[in-house]
Structures are given as C-alpha cells and as structure tokens.
Structure 1
C-alpha cells in the first residue's frame, strides 16, 4: 500500500479575510485532514508573495492552477450568490481535468435556474447524475460522514 496521502485542493474565498482565515479555514482543513488527506490550501501554499512586485498576480494564478492540476481532488466552498469567481475557475478546471470534486454550501440562498440543483447546473457537471447529493456538504461535520462521497473516496 502506498503511504503517500491523497491530496485535496481546498478552493475557498476564506483566505482573503483575516477573520475568515483565522476562524473558518482551520475547521475545514482539520475535517479534511481527519480523513487522512493532505490539504492544499492555496493561501497558505502560494500566498507568500510580494504584492509590490510586478507580475505577482499572474504567478499566484499560475501556481494555484498548477496545484489544481497536481492535486488528486478538489473541495470547493461555493457559498455566495454567485459563489467566488476564483473558486468557480478552480472548480471548472478540476471538472475539465476529470478530478473528483466535492462541494460545500451552507448558504441557504438559491442561485440557480434549475429546480434540481441549488446552484448553477454547470457546478454539478463533475458529479454523478444519480446520488449527486453525496458529493455536496452543508455542514462541516458531514465531511467525515462515512456514507458521503468524500470519506468513501479518501478510503479507496
């Protein structure tokens, strides 16, 4: 058995706010690590840049995209109406690359034209048609639910 932990890219807008970074990110990172996953949180991995240096934004975007390519899966926090644009690009890239994707939304507002999905239907393009709900999380405590898709994937 390979002892290398599977990697999961945590796509979220929570690194832009000191309060969110301090209060929200650790809870998600801890829940994902409890599944034995190595969490790639882009603000921690690629946030050490000099914002005064020309071209910093391009380099950060390229590093984040490379991490999406290299990670085994992606966990996207899709709160907001609409959800964060950067998270949507990361999620779209992961779907296009055929990576397993998992969605978190505890925002009660609907953001969709579909009766079936709570968000734009394209965000569900990386999920199976049947039982897609197993890939969607509405509480951090569900991340470790052995019946949900992420825990099953982490064990496989």
Structure 2
C-alpha cells in the first residue's frame, strides 16, 4: 500500500500551478504591447512599400513621356496637333462643328414688330420713391417686424 499523501504536498502542486499560470499571464501582459506595435509597424511598412511602388510606376511613366519628347517627330506631331503649326507653303484648314449649336437653338423667333408696354415703368418707379420717402407710416405697415427699432 502506498504511503498516504500529506495535505501539504497537494497544496504545493496547487501553488506551483498558480505561480506558473501567473508567470504566463504576466508574460502575455508584458509582451502584448510589443507584439501589437510590431504588427502595426509591419502594416505601415507594407503601406509604404505599396506607395513606393506606385511612385516608381509614376516615375517610369514620366520617363517614358520625357523620352517621347526627345523624338523630333513626336514634337512636330504635337505642334501640328495642339498648336496648329504648319510649314511655310502649307495650307491649314480648321473645321468647326457648329451643328450642335443649331440643334440646341430655340425654334421660337422673336416678333418682327416692337410692342408698346401697357404701363410706364419710369413713372411707377418715381411714384414708389415718392411714396416711400414722404409717408408717415411706421415700419409695421411695410411688413417689418415690430421688435425692430424705428428709424429716427
């Protein structure tokens, strides 16, 4: 028959297990910010590498454009196309497409005769100025809120 275990032996195993679990948890607590920082830096590095690749592609496209401008035939073609340059003795023709303006123009034709207005606008404006300047009525009669101070 095996010897009976003492209560203190079981207690030591429990304490040992508790200390080991505590050390593992403390390790996670200490290392978690560093691991998070590492992952964040890796994401930043990947984003910056993608940005560098895009900029390198842009530089290559600009170098290709510059190489095209080194070709005299390309310069001549661009001058003819953009600036309408021609050699002496050549005749240049520019075609204007004016069909779009005719299609959008209104079909209504203004009348050929002048029409006399029914009222005299100058007399109406002068009468309005006289009435506004010579009246004794307050601002309330003109639709102004009553809480505004009246002019002196």
Which TM-score tier does this pair reach, normalised by the shorter chain?
A: under 0.3
More helix by percentage: 2
Q: TM-score, normalised by structure 2?
A: 0.18
Bigger proportion of residues as strand? 1
| Structure showing greater Rg | 2
Q: TM-score, structure 1 length as denominator?
A: 0.18
For CA contacts below 8 A with separation 6 or more, give which structure has more relative contact order: 1
